[in-house]
Chains A and B, each alone.
Chain A
Amino acid sequence: MAEYVFLQAANGLVTGLIFALAAAGLTIIFSVLKIVNFGHGVLYMMGGYAGYYAIHLLGVPPMAAVLAAMAATFLLGVLFERLMLTPLYTNKVDRKDEYAIIVTFGLFMLLENLGIVVFGPFNKRPPSFVEGGLHVGLLTITYDRLVAAAFAALLLAALALFMQRSSLGQALDAVSQSRDAAAIIGINPHRMYAIAFGLGSALAGGAGALIAPIFSLSPTMGDLPSVQAFVIVVLGGMGSVPGSIVGGILLGVVEGLGVGLYPDPNRALAYSNAFGALLLILTLLIRPTGLFGRPHLRME
């Protein structure tokens, strides 16, 4: 029984790390631009397909394709920010929260349906990173999941370092704390917004490309992960990258255990996402700022 519980937890941990990557992107967008990005799921999806086509059309090897996908979604994110999000800070917009939600929701509708037209309705799947799996006693995990989790962990560590040590990372952090103060010390906040959205998109895209060999590619593949990302961001605390990492792992483990231990086995799997949602609700009731978050700052 203990082995079985460990199994569920291990499986959850691995997928949780990958979703944590997407969540980290969401949290950066939130902390710098102060908006909730409802298009995060489609950016994740675009990354998945970008990786697929990088492999099939450009012959890029699978691991490198993840980086190519991140570059592509970075550009997509910057483009979207420049075209649609500039009104947020040029003071033309009275109700910033709603504006951002509508505009990113529009992006979701546009790209998801365009994806069906352009990529076709049939599921695709890029080749595995590494074939086969690890079998230790009862524990079975595919190498794909392990590789993807390790890659995600590396990227998250790199991200955390970037945010804390590099000047660009610190500039982003400065803008997230106070736009005006950052402007005073010479940081161009508008440039930072574009970079933040691009970076957030790139992280989502990277997660999508990592997940692609594990779960199939489809234009709707981002729907559920975007809600997972919200849960993780709330759990870990909005604006905290380490929080996303811990939150992601926690969510994965809770969902895995929830399904494994839920008394009614017939329903357990159908409710797997409900465990995450419940976790979000409990976090908001007990500790709204999450594990590592700062109190919510409104856009100035």
Chain B
Amino acid sequence: MVRGTLRAAGWAVVFLAALLAPKALNTYWLHVTAIAWYYALMAASWALLAGYAGQFSFAHMAFAAIGGYTSGLLAVDLHLPPVLGMLCGVLAAAIVGGVIGWLCLRLRGPYLSLFTLAFAQILQLILIAEYQFTRGSLGLSVPPLFHGDSDLPYYYAGFALLLFSLGIMQLVLRSRVGIFLRATREDEDAAEASGIDTSLYKIAVFTLTSAMAGLAGGFYGHFVGILTPNIVTIPEMGLVVAMAVVGGVESLPGAVVGAVFIWVLSEVLRDYGQMRFVILGLVIMLTQRFAQNGLVLLATRLIAKRLQPQRVEESGAPAA
């Protein structure tokens, strides 16, 4: 009981901090945290797909690319306003996501991962090779979402999109769908046997999370201003997976924390020059090795232990 309110209080603090942070951040850190919201949305939606629904997909960045490039190309070639473009991007990503989810129905575990990986590779190569259309590695210049030089509107827009998506995902999880997803993940055959239409829910979750990735991609494109096929690389996907798992893949807010933590860390490590990604790789390995269920859970446990030492003595058990 106390744990529950403690957790709620903790998240409230985090939420307030995020809301007020821009007051304390200089332009560089504002820019960095605004980009972090992109990764946070990617990590959270991936956590839903992989952590809750058990679909360990490696195509997530591809859906961000679909969202980003759809929106970007519509803006550049047809002069569509960014908001409309982003909606189209979400739609495109959702449709392709549904198709991929359908194709993956019979695949489990690493087979699903490799299938989605192959799809992402093909998409990346198409983006590079068809450069006359996508501008490939030259970079597609995407018009900005907001006018003016400040990153502040992007910070709040990204944060708002993240909260909105988290809200939808939490609703889904609290509903029957969430229970069915968990049942499917634990034991798919048993779930089928008890009458759950696992196929429908698997496709649904793929569609939803791909739509969110598409949203994140659209935001990213209209914020950073240049899209390249580099957003779909395997290291990028691995980074998002690491963010979700380090934060805690069975907790959507945990994935958000993981994303912000790792992204901010990668910027902090800039001072270490070439050792930057060596250290990041080491941090990722060690965090998994010693805090397997994620840092958020670890932090919650540590804080809870700190705040409730009397319990042990009251129950008569020997003090720890």
Contacts and interface: CB of A to CB of B under 8 A. Distances in A.
A273 B278 contact: no
B292 A109 contact: no
A15 to B, nearest CB: 18
Interface in A192-218: none
B50 interface: yes
Nearest to B249: A98
B294 to A, nearest CB: 11
A227 interface: yes
A105 B282 contact: no
Please report whether the interface of chain B is mostly helix, strand, loop or mixed according to DSSP.
helix
Given A105-B284, A274-B121, A113 B110 contact: no
Contact of B241 (A101, A278, A298): A101
Contacts of B276: 113
A238 B114 CA distance: 12
B111 A284 contact: yes
B242 A280 contact: no
Contacts, number: 133
B245 interface: yes
A108 B121 CA distance: 18
A113 B281 CA distance: 9
A236 interface: no
B107 interface: yes
A75 interface: no
Given A227-B117, A234-B114, A284-B107, A110 B278 contact: yes
Given A102-B288, A223-B234, A109 B115 contact: no
A290 to B, nearest CB: 10
Contacts of B121: 227, 273-274, 277
A97 interface: yes
A242 interface: no
A105 B245 CA distance: 12
A136 interface: no
B186 to A, nearest CB: 12
Interface string A262-300: 000001001101100110110011001000000010100
A274 B245 contact: no
Interface in B219-245: 234-235, 238, 241-242, 245
Interface size class of A (residues with CB under 8 A): 35 or more
Contacts of B107: 284, 288
Interface string B110-134: 1101110111011001101110000
Nearest to A30: B110
B109 interface: yes
Contacts of B109: 97, 296, 298
Contacts of A114: 278
Nearest to B128: A270
Nearest to A35: B110
A231 B110 contact: no
Given A98-B56, A108-B238, A113-B277, A103 B122 contact: no
B292 A106 contact: no
Contacts of A274: 121-122, 125-126
B282 A110 contact: yes
A94 interface: yes
A234 B283 CA distance: 31
Interface string A105-125: 111111111101100000000
Interface in A6-45: 30, 36, 38
A165 interface: no
A266 to B, nearest CB: 9
B125 A273 contact: yes
B245 A98 contact: yes
A151 interface: no
Contacts of B108: 296
Q: Give the interface centre of B106, B117, B130, B281 by most chain A CB atoms within 10 Å.
A: B281
Given A117-B275, A117-B278, A271-B125, A110 B285 contact: yes
Contacts of B50: 98
Interface string A215-244: 000000001000100110010001000000
A127 to B, nearest CB: 29
25 contacts: A36-B113, A92-B292, A98-B50, A98-B56, A98-B241, A99-B245, A99-B288, A101-B56, A102-B246, A103-B289, A106-B284, A107-B281, A108-B281, A113-B274, A113-B278, A230-B114, A231-B118, A267-B130, A274-B122, A277-B121, A277-B125, A278-B118, A280-B114, A281-B115, A288-B107
Interface of B: 50, 56, 103, 106-111, 113-115, 117-119, 121-122, 125-126, 128-130, 234-235, 238, 241-242, 245-246, 249, 274-278, 280-285, 288-289, 292-293
Given A113-B274, A270-B128, A288-B106, 20 more contacts: A30-B110, A36-B110, A38-B238, A84-B289, A94-B292, A94-B293, A97-B109, A99-B292, A102-B241, A103-B285, A106-B288, A108-B235, A113-B275, A267-B129, A271-B129, A273-B125, A274-B121, A281-B118, A281-B119, A298-B109
